[in-house]
Chain A
Amino acid sequence: MSRVTIPIGPQHPALKEPERFMVTVEGETIVDADVRIGHIHRGMEKLFEQRTYMQNIHITERICGICSFTHSTNFCQATEYILGVEPPRRGLYLRTLMNEFERIHSHLLWLGVAGHEMGFDTLLMWSWDDRERILDLFEDITGNRVTHAYNTVGGVRRDITDAQAQRILHTMDILEERTKAYIQVGLNEQTILKRTQGVGILTTADAKRLCAVGPRLRASNVKYDVRKNDPYAAYGELPFEVITSDTLDVHGQLVVRALELLETVNMCRYMIKNLPTGDIRVKVPRKVPPGEAISRTEAPRGEDIHYLRSNGTDKPERLKVRAPTMANILNVAHTLKGANIADIPLIVAGIDPCMGCMDRVLILDRDKETSKVMTKDQLREYSIAWYEKEAYR
């Protein structure tokens, strides 16, 4: 059977964000897949160097609108490491609480998107409706639904009141009930089982070799979670389990995320009940002494790393961000091989890709032998010629 190469994206109904895949197929089966990234490359790492630490907190939030809190936590943490300050315990608890809220909102979002990709739009409507509850809490506590401006170097900006704590507990009760319903749906609903079981298999060895992170890694039966393995903020004091699954497929990812939701709900309850009293932030100097630090957090999508180098001024010298999708996109290209064309959206959605996070890295030409930088026009001409050639082959 002849081979056909299909370009998918960057603007494509099945993809929510600009990303581009070149898949080579034989009949319905994918024999090769290549990922092109960089469509959302904005040049933020350069921007960080021109802004002060205070401004950068807000810019790091806008690396990605879905894991905004994780990125700002990471940046604040790295700065705190260099400054040598430790936020007060109440501040750390509140920071952790928000991180967990973000996990709830992100996992529910994923559940909906996965449902949508498999043609189960009812699930999308349900889970996004429940997601609104957590966004309400965000709005209640931080003042904004998506970008919160809640973190700051040395702690958090706003305290919570008793009434807010009660509202949080109430919402957690509802979410627990809903999550249990989703778990039942995920384990028993034929639509989901038929579409996800055995799809997008990534073996444990491959997951380790390709450096997968987050739920994708845990669904490949590797027990690794930054919250447990290298506790930051208040995670060292919280009781929770790291969820893994041994089915290795997209269904495993669904189960991992759903069970993680339950863990998270319990963690939030624990944090509210054991919230320490005292200050929420310490004052820090505007200028940061020379030094460097690495900070890691477990974003909803996996391990997120910030490397920060300071030079004694009020602006960082370098901030390097390694977002989880960057680590996971490699294994997508791998798992796509051998899959069915119709499963592409689901496998891609499986890792919960977040291009906004990843695309600060620009890879122009991955072919080592002829590596050269082309201007955009050259590149465009080249691509047109290439497509024409491809079309007649």
Chain B
Amino acid sequence: MLENVVKWSRVKSPWVCHFNSGSCNGCDIEIIAALMPRFDAERFGVVLKGTPRHADVLLCTGPVTGQMKDRLLKIYEQMPEPKFVIAFGECGCSGAVYTGCYNVEGGIDKVIPVDAYIPGCPPKPEAILDGVVKLLTAFKESE
């Protein structure tokens, strides 16, 4: 019973924590743009949260720099279970243009497990909405 309530609330209102692991900002402004009146991801109950302890979803951008690697791990560990990670942007997915830089890991999934990838450099806000809807569907079907 309680589990159903939790699941219902998670599907209706996923709280997202945004983490920049060394991106160029292009993706970060597109994330905020997706929350603004034109695209309005809040329609789906998406709320951007400042602290990982309150978040269901970690929205990660950037290729993970040497400095941010430990912090990314720490933030990931602070999130309550069950947690979902979205790698946002081409460089979060694979390193993309930063491939070959000496200080990057080359993708979020090199450091923490990733559930969904949203490619694009940067992805358009429409792609973010699409990703959110897909994730919510996955939520619904998850046990």
A residues lining the B interface (CB < 8 Å): 10-14, 16-18, 38-44, 46-47, 50, 58-59, 62-66, 68, 109, 124-125, 128-129, 131-132, 135, 145-147, 354-356, 359, 362, 376, 380
Contacts and interface: CB of A to CB of B under 8 A. Distances in A.
Interface in B78-131: 91, 97-98, 100-104, 121-122, 124
Contacts of B45: none
B36 A147 contact: no
A38 B71 contact: no
Nearest to B49: A13
B28 A17 contact: yes
B24 A41 contact: no
A59 B101 CA distance: 11
B137 interface: no
B119 to A, nearest CB: 14
Contacts of A16: 20, 28
Interface of B: 19-30, 32-33, 36-38, 50-52, 62-63, 65-68, 70-71, 75, 91, 97-98, 100-104, 121-122, 124
Nearest to A109: B29
Given A132-B38, A146-B26, A39 B122 contact: no
Given A11-B75, A12-B50, A146-B29, A129 B104 contact: no
Contact of A147 (B26, B37, B65): B26
A39 B37 CA distance: 31
18 contacts: A12-B50, A17-B25, A18-B20, A39-B68, A42-B22, A42-B63, A42-B98, A58-B97, A62-B26, A63-B24, A64-B26, A65-B28, A66-B29, A128-B38, A131-B33, A132-B38, A146-B30, A356-B23
Contact of A128 (B33, B67, B68, B101): B33
Contacts of A354: 25
B28 A38 contact: no
A44 B67 contact: no
A147 B27 CA distance: 10
A47 B98 contact: yes
Query: By DSSP majority rule, is chain A's interface helix, strand, loop, or mixed?
Result: loop
B85 to A, nearest CB: 15
Contacts of B75: 11
Nearest to B121: A147
A40 B65 CA distance: 6
A129 to B, nearest CB: 5
A125 B36 contact: yes
Contact of B33 (A14, A68, A132, A362): A132
B24 A64 contact: yes
Contacts of B121: 62, 147
Contact of A132 (B36, B52, B70, B103): B36
A145 B62 contact: no
A65 B37 contact: no
B71 A10 contact: yes
Nearest to B33: A128
Nearest to B101: A43
A131 B38 CA distance: 10
Contact of B26 (A11, A68, A132): A68
6 tightest CB-CB pairs across the interface, nearest first?
A65-B26, A13-B50, A65-B25, A128-B36, A43-B103, A43-B101
Contact of A47 (B25, B52, B71, B100): B100
A284 to B, nearest CB: 22
A46 B102 contact: yes
Contacts of B98: 42, 44, 47, 62
Interface centre among A17, A47, A66 (most CB of B within 10 A): A47
Contacts of B63: 42
A62 B63 CA distance: 12
B101 A42 contact: yes
B101 A47 contact: yes
B39 to A, nearest CB: 9
A157 B66 CA distance: 36
B67 to A, nearest CB: 5
Given A12-B50, A64-B25, A65-B26, A40 B20 contact: yes
